[in-house]
Amino acid sequence: MSTVKFTVSALAVIAASATAAAARDQIQVSGSSTVLPYSTIVAELFGENAGFPVPVVESGGTGGGLQKFCEGVGENTVDIANASRPIRDKERETCTANGVTDIMEVRIGYDGIVFANSASGPDFAYTPADWFNALSAKVVKDGQVVDNPNTTWDQVNPDLPQQEILAFIPGTKHGTREVFEEKVIAAGCEESGALEAFKASGMDEDAAEEACTTLRTDGKAVDIDGDYTETLARIESSPNGIGVFGLSFYENNTDKLKVGTISGVTPSTESIASGEYPVSRPLFFYVKKAHIGQIDGLKDFVEFFVSDEVAGPDGPLAEYGLVSDPELAATQEAVANETTMQ
C-alpha cells in the first residue's frame, strides 16, 4: 500500500506548491551572454550590500531574453532583460501586444570587440579594409569584382605577416556578429573603395551593400555559434586562427591571446571610451516599470547597477572590461525618474 501513500504525498506536494506559488522575493534577469558577467558581478555585490536576495541571472542570448521579457507582466515573467543591442521595433510590438508597455531602457556602458590571435603568433595591425579583403566573398582586384582569391594575410596587405587566413567569427545568432559586419566589414568595404566598385559593376545600392557583408564560405571564415571559450579553444588547436572576442574576455586571457590593433589603435577601456578604437557597441538592459514596487528591490537594483561605485570608471565593472559610459549621470537621472521608452 506504500504506493497509495506515495501518491497521496505527491499530490500534497503539488497542492502545497500551488499555494506557495504566489510570492517571489528575488529579481529575475535574463538575456545577453555578453552582459551576463556584468550582471552577475552587480547581482553579487547587490546581494552582499543591499540586504535583498541576490537576483537570479539567466543567459539566453539577447533575442531569447527579450522574448521572455515580452511574454507579459506578472510574477512568473522576468523583470529585466539584458541586451547587447537596442530592442527592435518588432520586439517592442510583441511586448505591447502582451501588455508590456512601460519599458525603461538603461545603457550600462560599452563593450569593445577585439581581434586576437594565439599569444605565440605574430603581431597584427589591421585596418577594417584588411578584414574586408580577407573575409568578403567578393573583392575588387585590378578594378574587377572577383571571388576572393586571398589565402594569406600578406596577400591582403603586404604589411601583414605571411599567415594563412583563418578567422573565427561569431555566428549569426550573436549580437556581436551584427557589430562585426557593420563596423568592420562594411566599414572596410567602403574604406577600400569596394563599395563604389560594386556599384560601378552594375549593382544597385542594396545589392552592393549586401555584397559588402557577404562573407566567403570556403572555410576561411568559420562561424562560432558557441561562446568565446569555444573560439579560444579553436585558436589553441589551430594557431593560425584569429578570433573575434569581447574586450573583457581578452583581458581575462591575455596570457593566451595577443590582440591586434585596428587602424593603429590598441583596444583598451580608455581607447574605446575616447572613441579612438572603432569597434564597440553599447550594452543595455530593459526593465519592466510595472514590476517596480511589485518585486522587492527592483528599483534599488537598477539604481545600484548604474551607480558611480559600480558602473563608474573605477568600479568593478570597468575593472572587468566594461567601458564606462561617459553619460552615466544622465542614465542615473533617467533611472531615478523611472523614465520609460517612447
Q: Which helix (H) or strand (E) holds 38?
A: helix 36-50
31, 32, 35, 45: which one binds other proteins (CB under 8 A):
45
Indicate whether 330 belongs to the interface with other proteins (CB under 8 A).
no
| Interaction between residue 78 and other proteins (CB under 8 A) | yes
Q: What is the DSSP letter of 77?
A: S
Q: Which of 48, 206 has the CB closer to other proteins?
A: 48
Which residue has 597584427 as its cell numbers?
Answer: 124
Place of cell 518585486: 295
Of 51, 143, 202, 264, which one interacts with other proteins (CB under 8 A)? 51
Query: Among residue numbers 110 through 169, which ones bind other proteins (CB under 8 A)?
Result: 119
24 binds other proteins (CB under 8 A): yes
- 62, 248, 280, 332: which one binds other proteins (CB under 8 A): 248
Measured CA to CA, the distance from residue 208 to residue 200 in angstroms comes to 9
**Residue placing its CB nearer to other proteins in the complex, 79 or 91:** 79
CB atoms within 10 A of CB 67: 17
The single-letter DSSP state of residue 184 is: I
- CB of 107 within 8 A of CB of 339? no
Positive or negative torsion for Cα 145, 148, 152, 157: positive
- Cβ closest to other proteins, residue 60 vs residue 188: 60
* Three-state DSSP class for residue 74: coil
How far is 312 from 110, CA to CA, in rounded Å? 12
Q: Which stretch binds other proteins (CB under 8 A): 48-56, 88-96, 146-154, 170-178?
A: 48-56
10 Å CB burial of residue 27 (0-12, 13-18, 19+) is buried
Nearest approach in angstroms of CB 290 to other proteins is: 17
The residue from 39, 136, 150, 213 that contacts other proteins (CB under 8 A) is 39
Q: Which residues bind other proteins (CB under 8 A)?
A: 1, 3, 6-7, 9-10, 13, 16-18, 20-21, 24, 26, 28, 30, 33, 36-37, 39-41, 43-45, 47-49, 51, 53-54, 56-60, 71, 75-76, 78, 119, 227-229, 248-249, 251-256, 309, 316, 319-320
